[in-house]
């Protein structure tokens, strides 16, 4: 694996910091502070992906694991790279761009997975290979203009709000067909499929309903005009619900905390209420 694995915290430091109280709960996230700990977290997530795929009669190779590194600084991201990660998802453009510069020596791929304002489109074009939260024509047009000027293309997922919550970004399901039909005019955008965030709930049936809806919308789009939806991939599932998403057909799961450890920043920072 290329790339300087820099100053990882020594193990003594880790032992001190983790101060295990013996109260392990299944939902605990293990903060990785060494290459070995990243390998262990990645192996565990991969094992759970494989098990969920098997339950659904699917091949685990159909599911991309996208590590989400938001709030994690380069020292630990470099450890994740040494453990085998080559591509990272980030919610905020500024943070992602800064990291891509800091780690330019590693030639990583970056996916922007959070809401974008059209005036930030130029920043995405500078470094990202993928944008997963496309939900407005204005943003598509801004990206296309900048991409064309830069002579490059961008993989995009169209974000749908499947939970009908105001706090979630993404378009209402009924607007998807019309939106997809307008995207071919933006020749630099390569539509890969659809993306969603499920409702945050311990009620797994409500979560599952969101994922089912995204799959249904994808299937309908494939029937109507397959050329409009690229590969028809489904990006859905996070640390708390990726197994359900895989059972419902996910092709990309965006996993942060189960790889990097629990985030101190509350989720409301990313999905304003």
Ligand X SMILES: *Cc1c(COP(=O)(O)O)cnc(C)c1O
Binding region for ligand X (CB under 6 A) = 68, 70, 91, 113-114, 197, 238-240, 254-257, 270
Nearer to ligand X, 185 or 201 (CB): 201
Nearer to ligand X, 34 or 239 (CB): 239
Between strands 154-159 and 189-195, the pairing is parallel
Q: From the CB of 267, what's the least distance to ligand X, in Å?
A: 7
Nearer to ligand X, 81 or 228 (CB): 81
Q: Find out whether 47 and 66 touch, Cβ atoms under 8 Å.
A: no
To the nearest 10 degrees (0 to 180), the angle between helices 74-82 and 93-102 is 60
Between strands 109-112 and 64-67, the pairing is unpaired
Q: From the CB of 126, what's the least distance to ligand X, in Å?
A: 20
Q: Give the pair of three-digit tokens for residue 77.
A: 């991201």
Q: From the CB of 113, what's the least distance to ligand X, in Å?
A: 4
Nearer to ligand X, 32 or 228 (CB): 32
Q: From the CB of 184, what's the least distance to ligand X, in Å?
A: 26
* Closest residue to ligand X, based on beta-carbon distance: 256
Strand residue runs (E) in the chain: 64-67, 87-90, 109-112, 130-134, 154-159, 189-195, 233-235, 252-255
């Amino acid at each position: 694996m290329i790339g300087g694995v820099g100053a990882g915290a020594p193990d003594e430091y880790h032992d001190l910091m983790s101060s295990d109280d013996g109260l392990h709960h299944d939902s605990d996230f293990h903060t990785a502070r060494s290459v070995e700990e990243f390998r262990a977290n990645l192996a565990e997530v991969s094992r759970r992906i494989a098990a969920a795929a098997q339950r659904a009669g699917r091949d685990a190779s159909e599911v991309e694991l996208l590590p989400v590194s938001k709030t994690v600084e380069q020292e630990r991201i470099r450890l994740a790279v040494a453990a085998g990660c080559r591509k990272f998802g980030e919610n905020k453009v500024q943070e992602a761009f800064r990291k891509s510069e800091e780690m330019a020596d590693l030639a990583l791929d970056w996916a922007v997975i959070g809401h974008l304002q059209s005036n930030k489109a130029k920043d995405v074009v500078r470094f990202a290979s993928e944008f997963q939260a496309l939900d407005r024509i204005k943003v598509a047009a801004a990206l296309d203009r900048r991409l064309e000027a830069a002579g490059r293309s961008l993989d995009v997922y169209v974000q749908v709000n499947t939970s009908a919550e105001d706090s979630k970004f993404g378009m209402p399901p009924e607007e998807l067909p019309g939106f997809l039909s307008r995207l071919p005019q933006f020749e630099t955008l390569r539509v890969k499929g659809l993306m969603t965030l499920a409702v945050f709930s311990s009620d797994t049936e409500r979560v599952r309903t969101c994922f089912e809806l995204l799959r249904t919308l994808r299937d309908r789009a494939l029937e109507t005009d397959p050329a409009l939806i690229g590969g028809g991939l489904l990006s859905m599932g996070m640390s708390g619900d990726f197994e359900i998403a895989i059972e419902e057909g996910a092709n990309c799961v965006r996993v942060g905390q189960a790889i990097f450890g629990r985030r101190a920043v509350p989720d409301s920072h990313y999905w304003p209420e």
